[in-house]
Amino acid sequence: MRRILIELIALVAIGGLIWAAFAIFINFPSEPKLISKEKEQQLGEKYTEVILNLNGFSKVENSKADSIFEETARKLRSVQPAPAYSYTLILVDNSMVNAFALPGGHIIITKGLIEFCQNSEELIAVISHEIGHIEKQHVITRLIKDIGFEIQTSGDAYVMGEVARTILSSGYNRKQEVEADEFACELLMQSNLEPRTLASFFRRLKEEQGDYPFEQFEIIASHPNMTNRIKSILAYEVPPEFEPQNPWFTIDELKNIF
């Protein structure tokens, strides 16, 4: 019987040692290794160019829109304690209600989104959500995870076009969306804007486009359970003394461009 006991102890000890050895001495990255900011910036510029050459994504050239977006990017950056990126907002002539972030701080906003927004707070809320994805590094993490760095950096025009289409069609996971929502609420608060505008934007989109309106709308595409997200945003705590200000532009200033 003693031998059985010794063998049992040996077996447990060997198992424990193997487990401990692999757990301690080998590093398994839970997230893919990210690339430097400079490389991400280059990648972002490259893919922005490719996307703007796709059908239905032509850039809207308008000095008024440019100045509003530059001001928006600057303000949303300046209120953050330690932003890691500069943001470039790009308006494209596309009727879909959509906005999506690209690597390196680029955010594409569609004409459809501008037309859908009832006020500038809603548009800023959506932009803040996209900034959340950028600052939390969801964009580059998703790309490396889904596509792989080697493919992304390929110079082949065909590959780049396919990668760009993949960027447009793939979504974030639930955790990333919730993180981006929280980030957006925080950013809106810091900008003296009503943080719960994001919830009313989601609700309106849901009401107007039915139960499954989100297939083409990146920021909610991967998550049909919008009600929970709306509830979470509405539960965001705003101090009683908080008084939201008016944004620095009106939505009509942008709508009048078209």
Partner 1 sequence: MELHPIPQPDELDIREKEDASGAYLMMFATTALGLPLPIVNMIASVVYYFVNRSKGRFVKFHALQSMYSQLIVSAINSYLVIWAIVNLVNNKPFTDVFWGLAIAVGVFNLVYFIFSIIGAVRAHKGRFYYFIFFGRLAFVQVYSVKEKQHEKPVNLPPKM
- Residues near partner 1, by CB under 8 A: 1, 3-4, 7-8, 10-11, 15, 18-24, 26-28, 30-31, 173-175
Least distance CB 20 / partner 1 (angstroms): 7
Least distance CB 226 / partner 1 (angstroms): 17
Give the helix/strand (H/E) hosting 219. Answer: helix 218-221
Least distance CB 216 / partner 1 (angstroms): 24
Q: Which is nearer to partner 1, 31 or 207 (CB)?
A: 31
The set of residues, in sequence order, having a beta carbon less than 8 Å from that of 185 and lying 6+ positions away, is: 195, 196, 198, 233, 236
Least distance CB 5 / partner 1 (angstroms): 9
Q: Return the DSSP state at 92.
A: E
Angle, in degrees to the nearest 10, between helices 138-146 and 120-135: 60
Q: Which is nearer to partner 1, 95 or 173 (CB)?
A: 173
Q: Are 132 and 184 in contact (CB under 8 A)?
A: yes
CA 35 – CA 26 distance, rounded (Å) = 21
Q: Are 60 and 253 in contact (CB under 8 A)?
A: no
Q: Which is nearer to partner 1, 111 or 142 (CB)?
A: 142
Angle, in degrees to the nearest 10, between helices 226-234 and 197-209: 150
Q: Which is nearer to partner 1, 28 or 212 (CB)?
A: 28
Q: Which is nearer to partner 1, 28 or 158 (CB)?
A: 28
Phi, psi of 209 (to 5 degrees): -110, 10
Least distance CB 2 / partner 1 (angstroms): 10
Report how far Cα 230 is from the mean position of its chain's Cα atoms. 17
- Look up residue 1 and give its two tokens: 């019987």
Least distance CB 10 / partner 1 (angstroms): 7
Phi, psi of 182 (to 5 degrees): -60, -40
Q: Which is nearer to partner 1, 10 or 84 (CB)?
A: 10
